[in-house]
Structure 1
């Protein structure tokens, strides 16, 4: 990451401070162009669209994977269909203790309500993004998102530094460590399912990611109340650059929107469910059989939100390219090889830009 800048191009303003300062009008630098502003009831284009009020991403009971042959086959089929049709799905009965999920959300809620001088001790930079942050990308004068966040490395172990994790509230480091252990196991289990559904050996995707030497990161998003939510976004439209994401949403306040054709679908979280989504690296490895999908976050004038996004990624220096087993004369390799380190540098420099980055990998012709 030697090309990464050392500092932000402009002074950092914490969105939470703006929100709690009693603003009635948001600053211009958070106002999105009219075409990017949230409009849950209106389709992205004039084409026919899904009714956003009634649609929801699939909810899949993972307990079916432990059932009899028919039940397991039905569950595999549900996951395959969700990957093909949505790129997103929710999982329940996933094996992670609900009490741990509640604790994880609560410690991070407490962190974001600590005094600013405490949080500022962990202020991040664009060099690694690790720590307490309020923007992505380094373009001077960019239109920003209405959110703050905390980003930390969980794997590989050489990047795992407890000193960069919040010491307050006191259980935070312990909870994050346990949470990470459980999600690494769950992600490995899901990669096996995706490999089987692609017709590959069950360990194919895990091995393509680097075996046990993979990357895993946690980004905790904090979306403060916003006096003009119709003018901005908590997180701009993007597809996730990594392999696979497990999102623990706020199950009391909606905010995540998934692009489905010409519509934005507001996801209704199931209690203690994870939202799973395909990342750009799996799109490349599957030769676009599975596609990452654009998503964004809307904000609320009356309620704040906390969500935890756990990213399960390939080892940073392994070239990622379409699986040879999925390349045929009728379906040639659609993407050129690129390491994840090279890939995410584009995101860190430019910020979220829809699916521009993965599209730039397409092979000519």
Structure 2
């Protein structure tokens, strides 16, 4: 793409720690007014999708999945067979990772050649907006795209998950 290059976005968590009072312009998305919710009791509950029913080709559950994807953009998946303690360990591990100091997290910083790891690689165009988020990207499948060198240094319990 002419006039573009891969650039590392700054850590959003570090920007927030600086005590900024306004979100930097490059993160403001056009035509997106903030949602103001005054009465949370009128909100629908987060969609819950049952994988067991989907695997049995339950038409109602398939319709729920379609609606959740279109209307919410996400959902809670139940009956997926993943051990609850593994799910909890992953949540704890990522919280611990994102609570590390920046110097420690930089060991996992994404690079122009390697998009797996910590950060937010993006293709920069002058008018392109950034996401107000930090992430940690690890591919687990297919096997040839795994980068096991990222895992041993990650704090427990993530590295054992």
Q: 1:81 aligns with which of 50, 63, 68?
A: 63
Structure 1 counterpart of 2:44, from 26, 46, 55: 55
Shift of 1:141: 5.0
Q: What is the DSSP-based 3-state SS (H/G/I as helix, E as strand, rest coil) of the residue aligned with 2:139?
A: strand
Greater share of helix = 2
Cα 1:30–1:85 change in 2 (3 A) is closer
Contact 1:61 1:92 in 2 (8 A): yes
The whole-number CA distance in structure 2 between the counterparts of 1:18 and 1:94 is 37
CA offset digits 1:312-333 (Å, max 9, x no partner): xxxxxxxxxxxxxxxxxxxxxx
**Could you say which structure has the higher strand fraction?**
1
Aligned to 2:10: 13
Q: Structure 1, unaligned stretches of length 5 or more?
A: 42-50, 67-71, 176-365
> Which stretches in structure 2 are left out of the alignment for 5+ residues?
none
Q: Deviations over 1:154-208 (max 9, x none)?
A: 1111121210336131432221xxxxxxxxxxxxxxxxxxxxxxxxxxxxxxxxx
Question: Pairwise mapping of residues 323-342 of structure 1 onto structure 2 (< 5 A)?
Answer: none
CA contact (8 A) 2:27 2:130 kept: yes
Could you report, residue by residue, the CA deviation over 1:33-84 in whole angstroms, capped at 9, with x for unpaired residues?
2x1233255xxxxxxxxx9942245324445579xxxxx67xx122221244
Shift of residue 135 of structure 1? Answer: 4.6
Residue 151 of structure 2 corresponds to residue 165 of structure 1: yes
Alignment correspondent of 1:150: 136
Spell out, residue by residue over 1:269-294, the C-alpha distance to the aligned partner (whole angstroms, 9 max, x if none).
xxxxxxxxxxxxxxxxxxxxxxxxxx
CA distance in 1, matches of 2:21, 2:136: 26
Pair 1:99–1:153, CA change in 2 (3 A): same
Q: Secondary structure at the match of 1:55?
A: coil
Does structure 1 residue 38 correspond to structure 2 residue 34?
yes
**CA-atom RMSD in angstroms:** 3.0
Instruction: Output the CA distance in 2 between the equivalents of 1:6 and 1:165.
Output: 28
- Cα distance, 1:164–1:54 mapped onto 2, change above 3 Å: same
Instruction: Give SS of 2:62's match.
Output: helix
Residue aligned with 1:155, SS: coil
Q: Secondary structure at the match of 2:13?
A: helix
| Equivalent residue runs for 1:121-136 within 5 Å | 121-136=107-122
TM-score, length of structure 1 as denominator length = 0.36
SS for the counterpart of 1:91 is strand
| CA–CA distance in structure 1, aligned partners of residues 87 and 51 of structure 2 | 17
Instruction: Say which SS state the counterpart of residue 150 (structure 1) adopts.
Output: strand
User: Relative contact order (alpha carbons < 8 A, sep ≥ 6): 1 or 2 greater?
Assistant: 2
Q: What displacement does 1:138 show?
A: 2.6
Deviation, structure 1 residue 22: 1.7
Which residue does 2:21 correspond to in 1? 24
1:144 match: secondary structure: coil
1:58-69 map, 5 Å? 58-62=47-51
In the TM superposition, 1:94-243 aligns within 5 A as 94-165=80-151, 167-175=153-161
